[in-house]
Amino acid sequence: MGGSQANNREIILGILLEVAEHGAYSHIAIRNALEKYQFLEKQERSFITRVCQGTLERMITIDYMISQFSKVRLGKMHPTVRCILRSSVYELKYMDAIPAAATCNEAVKLAQKKGLGSLKGFVNGVLRNIARNLDSVALPGREDPWQYLSVAYSMPLWILELWAKSYSQEQIEGFLEAFLTKTPTSIRVNRMRAGKEELRQELAAEGIKAADAVGLPDALWIEGYDYLGKIPAFLDGKFYVQDLSSMQAALWAAPKEGDFVIDACAAPGGKSLHAAELMRGTGLVEARDLTPYKVSLIQENAKRCHMQNVRPMVADARVLDEGRIGKADIVIADLPCSGLGALGKRPDLKYKMTPEMCRELSLLQREILQTVQQYVKPGGTLVYSTCTINPAENEENVAWFLKLHPHFTLEKQEQILPGDMAGEGFFLAKLSSQPKG
């Protein structure tokens, strides 16, 4: 390993400290670091991304391993040492191409560089012990299936217990497998800017592979790129990065040319842009979100995709906008949720979320639905969606809503499970407001 890799490990340490110790979101911390170090080679960038994401994805498994070889409990360790050990164990266990000796040496050097020279013997001892005994580390037995799944797949026990109320053990293990299965990036072709084949050829000329995503006419899987900001077709708004299951929201809403659409919690804007495109640039999509920062993300994406019929605006979805009562043909309510369907892309969420937070989110969703349903005109459509697998935030909220608002009819609802579309877990419900008279 050259000095450059050692610097990469220092970047990894910085990201993990931000996420695991200071509560930053992993996708933001990784993106910010890669933007800061844009001069890095493609290989270095993917090494940093893989070790950070992998360490967070596998943290319960890694901690279980460390605790078998360390006399010091994880909670008592210096945060920097804890992060160095975690990322090093990830390399030892999951990255065969890196020699164990190199991983151990670089970890010791990094501890010293961070002013923890007195702990380098401890770091060295724990890592070399784990490296020697990698194949003999035993996971909990399957006689306690939930404890086994929790450690084997790094999933907090309470989430498994929540899912166990609705799904079989076999189904749940399928979710866990799907979260840990790496898939290419899914993109949606912006038909206002490019045809699918034209885009595929343009990407191929950049050395980027693009394959059809089954079941969705405008979706492609892409791989082999360095980062999005370097792809001319991305900068020119010819495609938008979006999960396959999330593409369903605008398709279910089925806006017609000239419609007025309100997207209540729109950032970063994928569903708003999709609806705007389905209307062929006609009508208007009011893309609302809570903060100027979130709305700036929508503005950035709408500008990049050349969507003139999207109007980004700052608005609190809980506060009624009297001027919009009964005006919208379609309201898209993709609401803040626990994100338990998106743990493949956002692994840190599983450690941040709690049962109490899930309860609070389900109440927030009800509060927002109570407000935004008022914007739907008679004969109009409300699409409610979340990226979670939690009946309290999904089916139970829909049942509660229908009891309270009998003039709405449930057209259809679906819980997409992780791996179903090679995408994340996602819930959708389409509700129609009955025309008057």
Other CB atoms within a 10 A radius of the CB of residue 100 amount to 17
Strand partners of residue 386:
427
Whether the CB-CB separation of 412 and 360 falls below 8 Å is answered with no
User: Of 52, 83, 358, 387, which is the active-site residue?
Assistant: 387
List all residues 6 or more positions away from 10 whose beta carbon is below 8 Å from its beta carbon: 110, 113
Q: How far apart are CA 186 and CA 241, in angstroms?
A: 6
* Two tokens, residue 358: 């899930």
Name residue, tokens 């400290």.
17
Tokens of 276: 């705007």
Q: Is 387 a catalytic residue?
A: yes
Among all chains, which residue has been given the structure tokens 């006419």? Answer: 217
In Å, how far from its chain's centre is CA 419? 14
Query: Is the bond into 406 cis (omega within 30 degrees of 0)?
Result: no
Do residues 103 and 88 make contact, with C-beta atoms less than 8 angstroms apart?
Answer: yes
Q: Which of the residues are catalytic?
A: 387
